[in-house]
């Protein structure tokens, strides 16, 4: 029996997204074409790989058993192809957005390593980053690590980013030089981009549970500029901002650090263990040298990171 690598790749992407439509978008195919590939793969294997419903596509028991082997097949195929392209290509780095802290980490690296060509790729985060690292589409991803990773993916703590809040001039905290989390209990954080199940939404779920905060995730997300206008006009709403978030200038926005404790958003750097890009070790050394570990006397971290035990020391 010979397996179609295109069908195997489609299977891996669907398993990551749990949705045929989203997988089709990532693969640049129609949903019908993706469905045909999976039907062909299921016929070759003699089993059903997905439970299909209106809410998405989950793996069957056979699908879950096949997934790690499918990832390995795709990784080997991509590595074989890459070996013929030479090693002079840019380092491909995956980030959530170009205004966010991960992009700043890469920018500071590039300032002292001008010879390294870098391609910045934006994505929906860890859900697509896992498969992209395994199949060689990207070399490095920056994300909060939650849940099990493929055993071929390695990672290190990269940056524990202090949180700030953004408020308008009419907010009762607007004149403060710093705020505590307890000061925010009577206000509401606006976060329409908190996608359920994402690594960042889980972070804020833990934060609200620990400190009794309220987060409003309703309504469409029209982007950061629109959010700033909404916050500027409100006497009750605020939004969280990472310390290194590049916030567009706005005449009516105040930015205030959060203290006692300072919530730290944990950015990790991830890469494939067999990735041989010559710039990768240099980026790892750069990130490791600048890493400042978790201080339990000053910082707050979710239980997931505390249990992992990686954030209290420099690697």
Query: pLDDT by residue (tens digit) across 180-210?
Result: 999 999 999 999 978 777 888 899 999 999 9
Query: Is the pLDDT reported for residue 300 higher than 50?
Result: yes
Last residue of a domain, one of 82, 104, 139: 82
- 11: domain CATH number is 1.10.10.10
Task: Note whether 183 and 249 are same-domain residues.
Answer: yes
**Per-residue confidence at 315, pLDDT binned at 50, 70, 90?**
very low
How many structural domains comprise the chain?
A: 3
CA–CA distance, 213 with 206 (Å, rounded to integer): 10
Q: pLDDT at residue 142 above 90? A: yes
306 located within any domain? no
Is 259 within a domain? yes
- State how far the Cα of 315 lies from the Cα of 313, in Å rounded to an integer: 6
pLDDT of residue 84: 55
Per residue, the 3-state secondary structure of 212-241, as one string, reads CCEEECCCCCCCHHHHHHHHHCCCCEEEEE
- Residue 312 domain flag: no
Q: Is residue 314 part of a domain?
A: no
Mean pLDDT of the chain: 90
Q: What is the DSSP letter of 196?
A: T
| Window from 10-14, 81-85, 155-159 with minimum mean pLDDT | 81-85
Q: Are residues 123 and 254 in the same domain?
A: no
Give the mean model confidence (pLDDT) for residues 12-38. 89
Please check whether residue 17 is in contact with residue 132, taking contact to mean a CB–CB distance below 8 angstroms. no
Query: Considering the domain boundaries, does residue 307 fall inside one?
Result: no
Q: Tell me, yes or no, whether 252 lies in a domain.
A: yes
46: containing domain: 5-82
CA separation for the pair 93, 205 (Å, rounded): 27
Tell me how far apart the alpha carbons of residues 124 and 96 are, in angstroms, rounded to a whole number.
6
Which of 16, 47, 82 is where one domain is finished? 82
pLDDT above 60 for 215: yes
Query: What gap in Å lies between CA 93 and CA 122, rounded to an integer?
Result: 8
Assess whether 164 and 255 both reside in one domain.
yes
């Amino acid at each position: 029996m010979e397996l179609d690598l295109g069908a195997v790749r489609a299977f891996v992407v669907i398993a990551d997204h749990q949705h045929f439509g989203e997988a089709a978008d990532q693969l640049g195919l129609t949903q019908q074409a993706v469905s045909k590939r999976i039907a062909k793969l299921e016929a070759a294997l003699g089993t059903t790989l997905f439970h299909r419903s209106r809410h998405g596509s989950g793996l069957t028991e056979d699908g879950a058993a096949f997934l790690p082997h499918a990832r390995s097949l795709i990784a080997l195929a991509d590595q074989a192809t890459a070996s013929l392209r030479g090693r002079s290509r840019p380092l491909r780095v995956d980030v959530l957005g170009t205004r966010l802290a991960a992009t700043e980490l890469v920018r500071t690296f590039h300032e002292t390593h001008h010879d390294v060509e870098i391609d910045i790729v934006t994505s929906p985060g860890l859900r697509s980053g896992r498969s992209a690292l395994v199949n060689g589409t990207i070399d490095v991803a920056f994300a909060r690590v939650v849940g099990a990773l493929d055993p071929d993916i390695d990672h290190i703590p990269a940056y524990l980013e202090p949180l700030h809040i953004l408020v308008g001039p009419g907010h009762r905290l607007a004149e403060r030089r710093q705020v505590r989390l307890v000061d925010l209990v009577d206000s509401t954080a606006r976060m329409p981009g908190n996608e359920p199940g994402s690594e960042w939404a889980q972070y804020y779920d833990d934060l609200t549970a620990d400190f009794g905060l309220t987060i409003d995730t309703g309504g469409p997300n029209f982007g950061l500029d629109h959010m700033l206008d909404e916050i500027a006009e409100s006497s009750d709403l605020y939004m969280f901002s990472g310390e290194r978030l590049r916030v567009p200038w706005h005449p009516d926005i105040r930015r205030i650090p959060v203290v006692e404790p300072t919530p730290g958003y944990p950015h990790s750097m991830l890469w494939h263990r067999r990735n041989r890009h010559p710039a990768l070790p240099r980026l790892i050394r750069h990130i490791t040298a600048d890493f400042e570990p978790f201080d339990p006397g000053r910082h707050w971290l979710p239980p997931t990171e505390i249990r992992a035990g990686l954030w209290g020391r420099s690697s």
